[in-house]
Structure 1
């Protein structure tokens, strides 16, 4: 079970309000107890209090990772305007004694109007922080793009699927694409600009490097691992959609990052490198097919990512930001859908 320790810093005078909010029965709560938070019901695995100054107190709440979103939202809404208020969300590597995976409180029977179950995901702030970090343009990101492109090119040229899979694991392309989907969902222009910049730099580096390799190395477009990436079918679109959904779900549920990298890179890096190799070797028509496959996959991954974020209930906390985000999301979804439809129509028309 993924755990999070939520630290709430408050003036001591507001402790009573927080305790009422948590409906606590002591400083340490049994894992089988149910704590009711307004219209929500959460499994709180432990609560501890500590005074660290003459006027402030810190309350630590242990809960599962996917339950932090609603809990932090509720506490923030209650104490957002209190001077000195702060929430820190800390990943918990382990706790002793161990908490069983099935240590969930029994949910009471309540009407649909009374019981609003929170989404199963990590908190919005933790999600944003992890995705923002993954979308940053750093020296490590550039190095990983270069290395994964070389590995992918070697795998394609030698028709070695194992080497290509290795490139998929190394490739960091999932970060900026998931960030772009989140920025679209939240209407966050700063995150969108950073994600686009990082994405463009990564794509450009992969293309430039693979074109250079195509100029100096023999490229055979009939090799299965290359030829399979010079045409687009509905199966490839389905794989791209599944990759985008898997990437977003892995982020929102704190799944291992390697799973995300494999899921997204399988639809992006190989056709991109195949495009560069074929273009460098002078096979323009084959290169065009690989480029179309990459573009269809890129659009499908982002479209699926936005749809999955919406399905997960990711939205800004403030109503004025939510209105702006709703408009931005609608426009982006229409744009991604129109681009995908245009590309698929062009592909179908070229086959007639």
Structure 2
């Protein structure tokens, strides 16, 4: 609930009182002791009814510049609160979600001013590049914390469910600008580090674990993007803090943008393609998941329905239609590019597991399989697969393992691949004697054996435990 406290001059008092009575809005009028003649109206209303009630008062003749304070009401006794909610609150009924005006305000508050937004987008990408090249997950998390993409990403879904077309357009524009700025910041950081010699130009960036983790889309990153979208929608539509969900959104965007920038600087087209597809996949599914999440909470308005009702030939309508078409094309391309890579990655994992699981390689233990982005032979280059296995230092060299893996994967997927096998050697020393068991435990085991032998003799069974064997 909210409490509206508003100054009503004596001249406007009859009209304001009539408007509140006609709307069946409970209120209390308190005489003011200040220099201005009039009363102070105290009006408890549901959270989503504030704007509607104020608009009613303004229509009754009250000046919009009059003294007005709106505060939270922790406890109220209002007889007709359900009727007021049904009449004024636009949005889901009940306590699970908030009204349209409030969710619009919360989404708008998440996005900083344009200059601040651009600065933080560039800084988050710069920090992320440093974290990726340092192979430091902590630094990457720091980049996620300062990233400003939560508001610009989630507001598109909010605008869609409350039929605010301007919010949708502003969100998509902000997302595009933010991604361009982040990519530019990542490229600038990479070029600076490379040209100044702090990072060697010959560095194989694809071998860095943190870089490789954000260089290709996969099912796990898809799940992360969907979960981030749902978490953002839930936080926006309830009283939960949005900052935590904002970090989850940034986790799906910032490292991928930084990886794309690193790929450009180090001239890795395949890695660039994988990072861009991962970035677009995350953005698309965060937006879709947030929209579905808000709809599931009861926000049923549709921007498509609003467009059908208010369709007209104008430059603004054309801009809306163009943005919608671009988004749909982006969805189709992203889903297709992601699906074919996930299918390729799944086939590679199955082939590697099949080969390593054979008796010939029984002494090897599979540690990881890293698959470079599968571009569908778009660049005419072989796909890359890196397999890491562990072995004892006394094992054979397994010189033909990479060739056997390459042959199996090529036959199964129909694509040329380059397979690299990385061995992790270890030494193992086993004890020559068994560990001494506690005396109490040894005595207990012996007594149990004797008890079983006695039961066997009593019931005529020959199954008696030998003194040196296990029962």
TM > 0.5 fold call: yes
CA displacement at 1:55 relative to structure 2 = 6.2
Question: Per the alignment, do residues 320 and 242 of structure 1 end up closer, same or farther by CA in structure 2, a change over 3 Å counting?
Answer: closer
- Gaps of at least 5 residues in structure 1 are 28-47, 108-112
Q: Is the 8 A contact 1:68 1:121 kept in 2?
A: no
Aligned to 2:47: 68
CA spacing shift, 1:202–1:49, aligned 2, 3 Å: farther
Query: In structure 2, how many angstroms separate the alpha carbons of the residues matched to 1:293 and 1:143?
Result: 23
Contact 2:157/2:290 (CA < 8 Å) preserved in 1? yes
Distance 2:248 2:63 in 1: 39
The 2-side partners of 1:204 and 1:303 are apart by 21
Q: Which residue of structure 2 lines up, in the alignment, with residue 224 of structure 1?
A: 209
Report whether the alignment pairs 1:58 with 2:36: no
Question: Which position in structure 1 is the counterpart of 2:132?
Answer: 156
* CA positional deviation for 1:291: 0.8
Which has the higher relative contact order, 1 or 2, with Cα contacts under 8 A spaced 6 or more apart? 1
Larger radius of gyration: 2
1:38 maps to: none
Alpha carbons 1:145, 1:172 under 8 Å: kept: yes
Deviation at 1:91, TM superposition (A): 5.2
SS in 2 for 1:221: helix
Aligned partner (choices 135, 158, 166) of residue 142 of structure 2? 166
- Give, in whole Å, the separation in 1 of the partners of 2:115 and 2:321: 34
Within a 5 Å distance, the mapping from 1:31-46 to structure 2 comes to: none
Listed as ranges, the matches of 1:202-351 within 5 Å are 202-215=178-191, 216=194, 217-218=199-200, 220-311=205-296, 312-313=298-299, 315=301, 323-324=309-310, 339-350=330-341, 351=344
Note the aligned Cα RMSD (angstroms): 4.3
Answer yes or no: is the 8 Å Cα contact 1:174–1:261 preserved in 2. Answer: yes
CA distance in 2, matches of 1:153, 1:91: 44
User: 2:132, 2:176 → 1: CA distance?
Assistant: 23
Do the aligned residues in 2 keep the contact of 1:184 with 1:329 (CA within 8 Å)? no
In 2, distance between residues paired with 1:170 and 1:57?
A: 43
Shift of 1:341: 4.4
Query: How far apart are residue 154 of structure 1 and its match?
Result: 1.5
Provide Cα deviations, 1:83-120, integer angstroms capped at 9, x if missing partner: 2276967454xx8xxx59xx999x9xxxxx9xx94453
Query: Structure 1 residues 235 and 85 mapped into 2: Cα distance closer, same or farther (>3 Å)?
Result: farther
Residues 122 and 184, structure 2, Cα contact 8 Å, conserved in 1:
no
Q: Is the 8 A contact 1:275 1:291 kept in 2?
A: yes
- Residues 18 and 164 from structure 1, CA distance in 2 versus in 1: closer, same or farther, beyond 3 angstroms? same
Gaps of 5+ in 2: 81-85, 87-91, 312-316, 345-412, 414-471
TM-score, with length taken from structure 2:
0.54
TM-score (norm 1): 0.70
